[in-house]
A and B are shown apart, each in its own frame.
Chain A
């Protein structure tokens, strides 16, 4: 029976030009995520604006709701954004669990400063100050304004003072250049209390202010409500919170479509899946607390159950679902 259902699903997928194993979400590289990940554009725009507002902002998301993808897309958006005085960095509690985070921050910001053109961003005075601080006493073109990843373009005196002391002092140095720092921290995958509190401790080591020096100008933290509760218990700082509503069943279809569509052929705004797959099939396995992946697994199970019939009956069954869906919407 299961084989018949699987065969029918494969045949249906082939007929519609969908991948053999549809519906399924495969891990995407961050380059792929830039074109294949569906996120709410208004949310991304709002977060990019938030990055310009000093403070600590917490985006509360359910487990498996794409917070990691969202944080990467936000980083890309900020790096390509109009505000080139903004230096963003993304740290991940799970990916960077043992790394020297302060070293990553220093290296990333020094690299970003070295790679960008500043003469058309900063005022003449600020540009002069930047070049003075980077050790270039005369304007000899872009090359001088570039620093290697190790900070080789920065004189040893500056390196010693700014690159080895407490991180807040380094961030204060960046602030004196007329630039702002934004920390994006992905704490979303932390289900275990020990892991969550360890990550919070590491964040505190990194971002706590020191003496007259602030930490980062802006922090945007992606985390589950339970992790936020722990954060606010052990380190209350006047967080600004917003909740990320789980993706709706209709949006799950958009996620699937964006994930699988032929980039060279199909318009991103046109999602034929919505016409092909009745939303009721997604809705049946959808719950607000489920991950996107779990909803997709439930959809696949639902499709297999529906397709467990003679191939000729598949379309009648789908039509029945569509009718139910239409009744639901009306």
Chain B
């Protein structure tokens, strides 16, 4: 029996929202788990292990799963960069500090790392630092003493995504077997093939959660084919006919012309976007005045290393850029820009 539109509508919270994004029904990331476990269990001298990936990639759940594997009962009550209380008060094989990401200003992050460095001798053999691409910034990591290892997360692709959705569907509906909820072409835009990858669990589920509200109210087999996306109007705050608006339209057109799902779309440098916008501006001014509003409006995603010296310390959204999954869907299925 296929899953019906009504079932998906009724269960959209369980299937597609973070509130139910629990390890038991989350793709198990076997390779990363094993790599992380090996690093923790094989730790000699104290070292930092960096887990750095996009916001919403599933890092926290990876850590929770590993903690569970190690029998850590208070898994999840980790310190964050905003609250380091209890960092040293653990007898576990590792300690964790989460949220090293663009939500914190650069100076605050260096302050946190300096605190960790001061406590270094009192910390467990492995100190897991979890965050977004900010943690790839070598200037920031210089604040840490000792060896640094890195665990890379497997990017979210179609197979991985269907596995995760399958686990949720089975848990909340009892349906087993192949998931036929998605038109293959729709998946190629929901999980765009980009270099570097931009699709994340959190954003993808968030989009599906919104789209599910526009499914027809009937018991027909549910199949997301993209038509629901046109109802979303996801982009806000871009003044019509402004340079940002014109560039956004160019981007959607660029996706339509260039994107072939079998070939990764390369990240776009500021110079290319500046030329496309046809503006006579300094690149830094262009980034601040045009590109950042497009990032805020979720048309673009920054895939550079935040706060890097070349980008300027305050730059949370540095180049290069890729269109967001919302932009890919908007280019293919409409909706989005006025």
Contacts and interface: CB of A to CB of B under 8 A. Distances in A.
A198 interface: yes
B208 to A, nearest CB: 9
Contact of B296 (A200, A211, A230): A230
Interface in B279-324: 295-298, 316
In the complex, which of the residues B19, B20, B210, B298 has the most CB atoms of chain A within 10 Å of its own CB atom? B19
A237 B18 contact: yes
B22 A234 contact: no
Interface string A167-206: 0000000000000000000000000011001101110110
Given A165-B77, A214-B20, 11 more contacts: A165-B74, A166-B76, A166-B77, A201-B103, A204-B99, A205-B82, A211-B23, A228-B236, A229-B297, A233-B295, A234-B101
A173 B105 CA distance: 35
B80 A205 contact: yes
Nearest to B236: A225
Contact of A237 (B24, B103, B202, B316): B202
A145 B44 CA distance: 54
Contact of A215 (B19, B23, B108, B202): B19
B101 A212 contact: no
B233 to A, nearest CB: 10
A30 interface: no
A204 B237 CA distance: 24
A173 B325 CA distance: 37
Interface residues of A, number: 32
Q: Which 7 A-B pairs have the closest CB atoms?
A: A238-B209, A236-B206, A201-B103, A229-B296, A197-B103, A166-B77, A210-B76
Nearest to B297: A229
A267 B297 CA distance: 45
Nearest to B79: A205
A22 B324 CA distance: 50
B64 interface: yes
A54 interface: yes
Contacts of B295: 233
A198 B102 CA distance: 9
A209 interface: yes
Given A226-B237, A235-B55, A201 B99 contact: yes
B5 interface: no
A210 B108 CA distance: 25
A253 to B, nearest CB: 30
Contacts of B276: none
A135 interface: no
B203 interface: yes
B236 A209 contact: no
A277 B241 CA distance: 38
Interface in A201-249: 201-202, 204-205, 208-212, 214-215, 225-226, 228-230, 232-238
Contacts of A153: none
A64 interface: no
B148 interface: no
26 contacts: A54-B13, A166-B77, A197-B316, A201-B104, A202-B82, A204-B103, A205-B80, A205-B99, A208-B18, A210-B64, A211-B23, A211-B64, A214-B20, A229-B237, A229-B297, A229-B298, A232-B206, A233-B295, A233-B296, A234-B101, A236-B202, A236-B203, A236-B206, A237-B202, A237-B206, A238-B18
In the complex, which of the residues B20, B21, B77 has the most CB atoms of chain A within 10 Å of its own CB atom? B77
B193 interface: no
Nearest to B77: A166
B201 to A, nearest CB: 10
B238 to A, nearest CB: 10
Contacts of B330: none
B126 interface: no
A31 to B, nearest CB: 32
B205 interface: yes
Contacts of B82: 198, 201-202, 205
Nearest to B234: A232
B16 interface: yes
B56 interface: yes
A285 interface: no
B17 interface: yes
A55 B18 CA distance: 11
Given A204-B99, A229-B298, A235-B55, A55 B104 contact: no
Contacts of B202: 235-237
